[in-house]
A = this chain, B = another copy of it.
Amino acid sequence: MSTENWEGQARKAKDLLQNSIPKQWLVSADKLPPADQKNVEDFPRKSGVLSDREISITEKSATALVAGMAAGMLTAEEVVVAFLKRAVLGHQLLNFATEFMADEAIARARELDAHYRRTGKLVGPLHGVPISVKEHIGLKGRTCNAGFAAWVDEIASEDALLLQYLRKAGAVFHVRTNQPQSLMHLCCDNNLTGPTVNPYNRTLTAGGSSGGEGASMGFKCAPLGVGTDIGGSIRSPAGFCGAYGFRPTTLRNPGVGTKIPCPGQESIRGTLGPLASQSIEDLDLFQRALIDQEPWEIETSLVPIPWKRVAPTRNMTVGIMWDDGCVRPHPPITRALQHAKEKLLAAGINVVDWEPHRHDHGWEIVSTLYFPDAAANQRVVFAASNEPLLPLTEWALNFSRATPLSIPENWALNCQRDSYRDAYHALMRARGVDFILCPVYPGVAAVFGESHYWNYTAVWNILDQPGAVFPSGLVVDPVLDAVDGGYVPRSEVDAREWAKYQPERYVDAPIALQLVGRKYRDEETLAAAGLVAEIVQGRE
């Protein structure tokens, strides 16, 4: 850990990023959309940087890209170049990258193409798929700072284990992506790279903590990305940016080689997982490519459960959770749930209401377990470089109790956690509910800096139930989603969140939904989410 002042460290991080950007694809400032243009999602078509073929490539799913390369219709090189061009544009507009790796990515793509020409075969199920990677997931020889200034000089000695598997499966890593200071915002800002904004509305956050991934997916800078999630950090950015994301049950995906402030903290585990720009199917492809390699043979904490092939079935019961009993969702969310309900019923799916079970209790446990040491580890890292805390960092660190827990206090919370998990699971069984369809967040993407309420995602972390996020296909509509002035909030928190809603603050924001399954039913959850997304989006 460096003790150099944070400003010098930040300069290093900025220089590294700046020097890594492939300059040939930059658009000059006068040709970019004006700074006050909120929605920039369609800029790639207008930029002139990408050919029609490249636009088409970047709008394909990973599954389709691999099929194209298997058929000899696409080369890995042209694929990664197309996504690199789009990523450079995306970075100019959204500030989502921490480092480009263009030369290395193109070289790797050429190797893959040579392999294909030589053998007629792909190297693996992710052959030639460009994948963006959240910065704190280590890449050998590169900085791994997790958004902390004091860690800018920390260099990963190896690729994170998950990336090793993806690479073996054929993935090409072309860009590393931004994360908030401390990793603990559902927003994305830090003192190194600055804020990452939402492609659909640049006054909104791309979400967090995998906010760079959210922007990457929303702007289609890669078909797949890798994020991490301990309270919503994959699902929030996926949802906010109109993309797809999956938080698996913990201990299925490898975590070795990820830089975090509190390694060894196990009471509430984070997990790595995929985001995708195009489909749930791609999330399954990612998981399959990974787990088929039996990562538990290296990281022995993982459960040795093979990735099952599960076909979606309409023979399921979906419980809709309209409200978590604590914070009322904003009108667009409720409309999307209503829309989903109608579509699912029309498709012959059994739909019931889901009464939430003690989500406030879940929040009490999980928020205390985030910082059982009163965030001492984080504060040490900030102090090392004298780095100032951003407001949302303070916000998250204040979830902590004022003083560190004792070990027996931590044990008591572990017991509460396990009882809560068992009770929730029993309730799903008793009610015959296979999946819960629910909001990702009280609203659509938060206005930058306003991501305060975590528990539409965090509760599933403490319950350790897998969850997939997908776009409903709807966007905020000022007419349909008018403010409901008659609502009387239940609490200060409820009032705070409700007061944030005015449709004009969220123009063009996509509305996402989350499908949650039972613990370890990861494959079933993705299969069901794929079907539900198709039905809700009207693609079936």
Shortest CB distance A190–B (Å): 23
Across the interface, which residues of B come within 8 angstroms of A407, CB to CB? Answer: 265, 372-373, 404-407, 410
Kindly specify which of A3-11, A215-223, A422-430, A480-488 makes contact with the partner chain. Answer: A422-430
Asked if B297 and A425 sit within 8 Å, CB to CB, the answer is yes
Residues A289-322 near B (CB distance < 8 A):
296-301, 303-305
Across the interface, which residues of B come within 8 angstroms of A304, CB to CB? Answer: 305, 520
Q: How far is the CA of A299 from the CA of B426 in the complex (A)?
A: 9
Q: How far is the CA of A520 from the CA of B410 in the complex (A)?
A: 27
Asked if B303 and A408 sit within 8 Å, CB to CB, the answer is no
Nearest B residue to A418, CB-CB: B301
Asked if A300 and B410 sit within 8 Å, CB to CB, the answer is no
A414 within 8 A of B: yes
Nearest B residue to A413, CB-CB: B264
Q: How far is the CA of A8 from the CA of B263 in the complex (A)?
A: 47
Across the interface, which residues of B come within 8 angstroms of A164, CB to CB? Answer: none
Asked if B422 and A300 sit within 8 Å, CB to CB, the answer is yes
Residues A302-344 near B (CB distance < 8 A):
303-305
A415 within 8 A of B: yes
A266 within 8 A of B: yes
Across the interface, which residues of B come within 8 angstroms of A412, CB to CB? Answer: 264
Q: How many copies does the complex hold?
A: 2
A47 within 8 A of B: no
Q: How far is the CA of A208 from the CA of B241 in the complex (A)?
A: 58
From known contacts A373-B406, A415-B264, infer whether A426 and B519 are also in contact, taking CB-CB under 8 Å. no
Across the interface, which residues of B come within 8 angstroms of A298, CB to CB? Answer: 422, 426
Contacting residue for A414 out of B256, B264, B373, B519, CB 8 A? B264
A157 within 8 A of B: no
Across the interface, which residues of B come within 8 angstroms of A167, CB to CB? Answer: none
Across the interface, which residues of B come within 8 angstroms of A411, CB to CB? Answer: 262-266
Shortest CB distance A63–B (Å): 28
Per-residue CB proximity of A389-433 to B under 8 Å, as 1/0?
000000000000000111110111111001001100110010000
Across the interface, which residues of B come within 8 angstroms of A418, CB to CB? Answer: 264, 300-301
* 19 further A-B pairs in the complex, CB-CB below 8 A; given A298-B422, A300-B425: A262-B408, A264-B411, A264-B413, A264-B418, A265-B411, A266-B267, A297-B425, A300-B464, A300-B519, A301-B418, A303-B520, A304-B520, A305-B305, A376-B408, A377-B408, A404-B406, A404-B407, A405-B407, A406-B407
Across the interface, which residues of B come within 8 angstroms of A413, CB to CB? Answer: 264
Contacting residue for A305 out of B264, B303, B405, B429, CB 8 A? B303
Q: How far is the CA of A327 from the CA of B373 in the complex (A)?
A: 38
Say which size band chain A's interface belongs to: 35 or more
- Cβ contacts A to B, 8 pairs, < 8 Å: A256-B422, A264-B411, A266-B414, A298-B426, A303-B303, A303-B305, A373-B407, A377-B408
Across the interface, which residues of B come within 8 angstroms of A422, CB to CB? Answer: 256, 298-300
Across the interface, which residues of B come within 8 angstroms of A372, CB to CB? Answer: 407
Asked if B264 and A421 sit within 8 Å, CB to CB, the answer is no
Q: How far is the CA of A373 from the CA of B264 in the complex (A)?
A: 17
Per-residue CB proximity of A19-34 to B under 8 Å, as 1/0?
0000000000000000
Across the interface, which residues of B come within 8 angstroms of A299, CB to CB? Answer: 422
Per-residue CB proximity of A74-108 to B under 8 Å, as 1/0?
00000000000000000000000000000000000
Q: Which of A301, A407, A421 lies at the interface centre, i.e. has the most chain B CB atoms within 10 A of its CB?
A: A407
Contacting residue for A373 out of B297, B408, B520, CB 8 A? B408
Across the interface, which residues of B come within 8 angstroms of A264, CB to CB? Answer: 410-415, 418
Shortest CB distance A29–B (Å): 47
Q: How far is the CA of A263 from the CA of B408 in the complex (A)?
A: 9
Across the interface, which residues of B come within 8 angstroms of A296, CB to CB? Answer: 520
Q: How far is the CA of A338 from the CA of B6 in the complex (A)?
A: 63
Q: How far is the CA of A404 from the CA of B372 in the complex (A)?
A: 15
Across the interface, which residues of B come within 8 angstroms of A520, CB to CB? Answer: 296, 303-304
Q: How far is the CA of A259 from the CA of B411 in the complex (A)?
A: 14
Nearest B residue to A425, CB-CB: B300
Nearest B residue to A419, CB-CB: B256
Q: How far is the CA of A422 from the CA of B262 in the complex (A)?
A: 19
Q: How far is the CA of A301 from the CA of B297 in the complex (A)?
A: 21
Shortest CB distance A411–B (Å): 3
Q: How far is the CA of A246 from the CA of B305 in the complex (A)?
A: 22
Shortest CB distance A117–B (Å): 34
Shortest CB distance A408–B (Å): 5
Contacting residue for A300 out of B305, B377, B421, CB 8 A? B421
Nearest B residue to A520, CB-CB: B304
Q: How far is the CA of A421 from the CA of B296 in the complex (A)?
A: 11
Q: How far is the CA of A299 from the CA of B415 in the complex (A)?
A: 12
Asked if A415 and B519 sit within 8 Å, CB to CB, the answer is no
Across the interface, which residues of B come within 8 angstroms of A408, CB to CB? Answer: 262, 373, 376-377
